[in-house]
Structure 1
Amino acid sequence: MARSINDIMNSMLSVKDSYTELSGLSGSISSIWRKILYIVASAIWILENLFDSHQQEVTGIIATMRPHSLRWYAEMARKFQYGFNLLPDSEDFDNDGKTGDEIEASKIVAYAAVDKVEGKLLVKVAKDAGDSLTPLEDVEKQAFTEYMERVQDAGDDLEIRSEPADNLRLSLDIYYNPLVLNADGQRLDGASLTPIPDAVHNYLKNLPFNGELVLAFLTDALQAVSGVVIPHIVSAEYQYGEIVWKPVGVKYKPYAGYLTVAETDLKINYIPQSEIMK
């Protein structure tokens, strides 16, 4: 950042004072040597400002030419403001005259993730509905798609996806400790009537958006429930849109970016089991 002329002048005066052989120079502000220093300081000030302008110009060119990352696309998706227009030739929204609350309320995309699939950039987004995630409505998706097409890098092919949650269907065998749980999987001390279903729902809720369902990790979550001796996933299947149920192998990345399991799709068989010494 360019210094002021006075700062440059003071810097040169400080250097001048370090030379004892120059101590005899007149201290008058109208002296010739001071005028020469001022002229040099002015020239340095002009040069530093030119350097600043050049740096800004080069930085702007680099920012314009550099291909953006997948993370950048996800950040831009979350910056979308529904019902707001972009400033001319800008990636920023025109928030003139809007309150902070109005601006925040317009940012309807709470979750976003971007994958590169077969040369395309797949942009998955969802809204926050409190205890669950929901897709954008048709008119919201149309506006969001227009926004992303305006801010995207030239040549990138985007596919916007905002869909209802993928459905998960589970069949579990839970070998339980009869001293802790009853035959319906309820805690005997009354602390919870649904500890196993709660563990499943909490695992899905805590998955990162567009994160993978890993059956081994779900097993770990079930194993951590008090009273569970052996958790066994008999089967796991997923379904979305019009496709039929398909089995989950080792892991599964949801089509919509997130998963839900209905009460009727969670089958649990409780089997009493004494604790096993390890």
Structure 2
Amino acid sequence: MARTIAEIQNEILIEKGKQSSLNGLDNNSKASIWKLWVNIMATAIWVHEKIVEKNALISRPHTLNWYREQSLNFLYGAPLTSDASKDVVPIIWKDGSYQFDTTGLDDDLEKYKIIKYCAVSEIDLETVINPSKDVEEIFSDYFHNKVGVVFIKVATQKGDSIARIDVPNELFAFKEYIAKIKDAGNQVYITSDDGDILKLNLNIYVDPLSIYVDPQDIEYYQLKSLSRELTATEVDKINNHGSVSDLNGSLITKPDTFPVLDAIKNHLKNIEFNGAFVKTYLVDDIQKAEGVKIPVLKNVKTSIAKNPSDLENPLINDVSNIEYFIPRAGYFDLDALEVEVNYIPYTFYRDKQ
């Protein structure tokens, strides 16, 4: 940030005081020649620093973080004036770059920023090139794997949840905005999708003094928790058991509180946009929940969201053997979250007596 004229003048005066040869300049009048020259030099230096600062700002390299910053600063549908015919903020060329003309707008620009979440990435060329390949194959892989493309994932906020930008003109306007401000020659791929689907299956050993488990459901949960192949008799017991109690997994003192389910939802909410789902981190958070003794994450399945215009459901992928992965949309749809928990009373301490 450029210094003010007063700051530069003060530094000149401090340096003058260090030079004994200038002690004769002791006239403190503001109209004295030497003070006028100090002011002239300070002003000239200030102008120079402002020019350098502006050039540095304009010529800053457009990194991935720059694309993210510009995306989050996108303004949609902000009225320029009270004139209803001017219902959008124009993008103008100013000081060497495209900028929004916010003349006449109030200070609350946040209400026009529809992009609340953004992640920008690209594919590293080294990840797809094999040095032993022929040149023709290398160039084929180069384009096939979209190397050199900037990927931008964006989402908005609806209530307390992350959501895709589902108003067609909003996403269209944002794409036009990026096309106008991006570097020449760069390819940009923009997506805004519904949150990915997540299905979890867990065995949770709980403190029976804190967590409610209906005694009639214990054998059912124990059979379902087994990792071995079940016998025909055991399968029949599961199929004939019927529905389990809705209170299973709740706190005995607070029947409307389900610590395990709450811990899972809070963990998923706190994953940053386009951040990785890490199985170990999820288990760690469940372990901290009240009444939980041993959490075991048995199975994890995920898929992209179903396209409303598509009659077929998306393929559900079993990712239980993967320690971490990033949801394709950048986040999970918590309304579509499916969690199956086998609540088993923790009684191992009595088994050893």
The normalised TM-score by structure 1 is: 0.80
Indicate the residue corresponding to 1:208 in structure 2: 272
Task: Tell me the distance in 2 between the aligned counterparts of 1:22 and 1:143.
Answer: 66
Q: Tell me the distance in 1 between the aligned counterparts of 2:257 and 2:22.
A: 89
Alignment map for 1:153-192 (pairs within 5 Å): 153-183=183-213, 184-190=248-254, 192=256
Q: Distance in 2 between matches of 1:142 and 1:255?
A: 21
- Distance in 2 (CA, whole Å) between partners of 1:60 and 1:21 is 37
Cα separation, 2, equivalents of 1:223 and 1:192: 20
Q: How does 1:110-189 map to 2 (within 5 A)?
A: 110-117=116-123, 118-136=147-165, 137-183=167-213, 184-189=248-253
C-alpha contact 1:182 1:188 (8 A) present in aligned 2? yes
Question: Take 2:335 and 2:24, find their aligned partners in 1: how far apart are those partners?
Answer: 88
**Would the alpha carbon gap of residues 147 and 20 (structure 1) be closer, same or farther in structure 2, given more than 3 Å must change?**
closer
How far, CA to CA, are the matches of 2:207 and 2:200 in structure 1? 21
Instruction: Give per-residue Cα distances to partners, 1:155-197, cap 9 Å, x unaligned.
Output: 3321111111111011111111111111211111116432211
Structure-2 residue corresponding to 1:69: 63
Q: Which residue of 1 aligns with 2:345?
A: 272
Residue 150 of structure 2 corresponds to residue 86 of structure 1: no
Single out whichever of 82-91 and 218-227 deviates more from structure 2. 82-91
- 1:65 deviates by 3.2
Q: Shift in Å at residue 216 of structure 1?
A: 0.5
- In 2, the alpha carbon distance for the partners of 1:92 and 1:77 equals 12
Structure 1 residue 48: Cα displacement: 4.6
Q: 1:244 aligns with which of 301, 309, 315?
A: 315
Paired residue type of 2:317: K
Distance 1:52 1:272, change over 3 A: same
Where does residue 257 of structure 1 map in the other structure?
Answer: 330
User: Secondary structure of the residue that 2:271 maps to in structure 1?
Assistant: coil
Change (3 A) 1:53 1:191: same
CA RMSD of aligned residues (A): 3.3
Q: TM-score, normalised by structure 2?
A: 0.64
Contact 2:196 2:333 in 1 (8 A): yes
* Worse overlay, 227-236 or 81-90: 81-90
Unaligned segments of structure 2, at least 5 residues: 78-88, 124-146, 214-247, 307-313
Shift of 1:121: 1.7
> Aligned equivalents of 1:3 and 1:57: distance in 2?
14
Contact 1:169 1:261 in 2 (8 A): no
